[in-house]
Amino acid sequence: MSYWDWLPLEMQVYVLRLRDSQALIDRRESQASHELCDEIETYGRLRERWQIGFIQVKPELRFVRTRSLWTNERGVKQRERDNMYIFGRYRDRRGRKRRVFLDFSYHAAIARCAIVRSKLSY
């Protein structure tokens, strides 16, 4: 007979639920770290393609007011991330700093880099 069998049933259920919830937390953290690594890698590819300056990524945040369904009272403002604006920064022939809009996503901005660079005078 093992120590597990000696535990009361409530304690066994508690330990199993704790194990399941910890596995879920670990899975979410792993997924978030993979998404972050993918975003960093994509940013690196975009920066490599741009070549004439640096990249500015500006998230657009908006505030959304929530209402309670039961009391119809206004709730707390919540921030939501809708889009992000990706700009390419460079210096023109006169040495002035310029900014050009590339796109709303990394992959589309990577695709547009060559087109935008060919039209600029730097």
Q: How many domains does the chain have?
A: 1
For the segment 64-117, what is each residue's pLDDT rounded down to a tens digit? 666 655 555 565 555 555 678 899 999 888 889 999 999 888 888 999 888 888
Measured N-to-C along each axis, helices 106-119 and 9-50 cross at an angle, to the nearest 10 degrees, of: 10
Q: How far apart are CA 101 and CA 87, in angstroms?
A: 4
0.95 cut: is pTM over it?
no
Q: How many CB atoms lie within 10 A of CB 88?
A: 26
* Domain carrying residue 107: 3-119
Q: How many CB atoms lie within 10 A of CB 50?
A: 22
Higher pLDDT, 69 or 36: 36
Q: How far apart are CA 19 and CA 8, in angstroms?
A: 17
Q: In the structure, what pLDDT confidence band is assigned to residue 58 with cuts at 50, 70 and 90?
A: confident
